Each structure stands twice: as structure tokens, then as C-alpha cells.
Amino acid sequence: MRKTMMTGLLVAGMLGSAFAQDFRGKAVYESKTYVDMDLQGTDIPEQDRKRMLERMKQDLEKTFILDFTRTTSLYQEEEQLGQPIAERGGMRMAVFTGPGGEGIYYKDVKNLTYCNQVEVFGKIFRIKDSLPDLQWKLDNETRKIGEYTCYKATAIRKVSRPGFSVKPGKGNKREKTADSGKEPVGAEDKKIVITAWYTPEIPVNQGPGEYWGLPGLILGVDTERTSILCSKIILNSQDKEEIEAPKKGKEVSRAEFDEIMHKKMEEMREMHRREGRNRDGGRVFRIGG
């Protein structure tokens, strides 16, 4: 018993020493977003359907890097083969995974603010606002992620997701389009359950994207359609660059950005309506959350 207590004190002392200084860490996360998309019965040729689904799979499976200190963090997609993300070229689908799911996400947990730089429809925006208060409910359930013991926490979040439509085949009875007088296509407000796994062994209240506020680094997150899992951690990183908020793009609040997105989706639906693409109703694919 005495030996166990001494070992515990020794480990606690080592952790306290490691995190007492102004340390810096780096965590690698693998993110996967799932979508149920059935393009059978559409006017899209089979070869194009396969290419479209393969490209979507690539866009929905990504690797992110979280650079963090006790008070600040920067979460962004890993560059591929040394090539900046913005220079990859080729067609990329517009995928909306909710706040923090795209672009560069900076958090200041001391001042309770964030800055999310995103590029949508060819324009760059800097969303600056207060960090979301997720009201975590702590649980005693544990699991191992790598060498770390993680504890479960859950929260409920209200989300509003845009979507897009394609012409359905015969027999489709999915959601009506905006032209039918029903709820607008692509608009959805609902509550989703967030399950997070955090480790007190790394005592910082940071995590991937918008997730934060737990008594330990968040190593895993599961939501309705997205799964994020840490695959590598480097503590006391030797990076010398200061973690700073992104500076590109037009600065807007979250509410202003949501309104801009809503208007843009309305413009796109109006464009499709004029082209007659939605005259028989639309199928909606909502991604993220």
C-alpha cells in the first residue's frame, strides 16, 4: 500500500513538473465524416457517380494537427506531401461539417474566444466569437487511446446545417424542396449528442476544433456523423513559432457568417430552380455534426 502511494505521488510529481513550465504540445487527429448518399436513380452517369463518391470519401477523411499550450491552440488540416492544401487543385466538393470542422481554428481558453478562418465559395472569412459552452457531463467510463487512459464526457449541441440537392429518381419520397412551400431544402436545426474522451494525464482543457473545457486533453470525439481520434502526441514540442490567431479574410461573428451562408444557399437553390433542376423535388444530403 505504501509503495503504491509513493508511486502515485512520484507520477503526480513528474506530471506536475512537466506541465508547470510553459510547455507546448502537438497532437495528430484522424477525422472521418460519414454520409449516406445514394446517387442511384439520378441523371449522373455511373462513371461520374463513382468518381464523385471517391472524391467525397477523400474530402471526408482528413488528418488534422493541434498545436497547443495551456491557454491557446491552433487546429488545422495537415498539408499533403508538402503541398499546401490551397494549392492541391482539382474539383473539391463544398462540405459543411459545422464550426471547427474546416479551415484553421484558433482557441484562447483563457479569454474564452475563438477565431475560425474558412474559405467558402471562393471567399475567406474569419469567424471571431465566444467559445461554445458545451456543458459537459462527466462519466466514470474509461477507455485507452494509445498509452493514455481517457474518461468519457457527453454534451448536447444544437446545430444548423446547410445542404445541397440533386434530382431524385422515381419513387423518392424524401424531403420536399423549397419550391414545394415546405421547409427550405438544406436547412436543419436539431440537437446532437457529443461524446468526448479526455485524459487527465495531459492536464490542459484543449481539444480538436471547437471542443474544449474538460479536465484533460480531448483525444477522441464522436458525434452524429463525425469521428475524431488522436493518433499521435508530442509533448514539449520544440516548435518556436508562436501560436497566433489567423489573420486572413473578412472578420465576421458566427451569427453573421451563418446569415451569409443561408443567403448563399438560397441563391444556389434559386439558380437550380431557374435551370429546372428541382422541378420534380429534391433529395437533400446533410453532412457533418
Q: Report pLDDT digits (tens) over 61-99.
A: 899 999 999 999 999 998 754 444 444 443 344 444 454
Least confident of 40-54, 112-126, 250-264: 40-54
Contact between 192 and 159 under an 8 Å Cβ cutoff? The reply is yes
The CB density around residue 155, as the number of other CB atoms within 10 Å, is 19
Does 211 have pLDDT greater than 80? yes
pLDDT at 218: 98
Residue 16 CB contacts under 8 Å (≥ 6 apart), including other chains: none
What are 232-285's pLDDT values in tens digits?
999 987 777 889 999 999 999 999 998 998 888 888 778 777 765 544 554 444
Distance CA 33, CA 27 (A): 19
Domain ranges of the chain: 19-285
Per-residue pLDDT, averaged over 37-58, amounts to: 63
> Residues of the chain with pLDDT > 70: what percent?
61
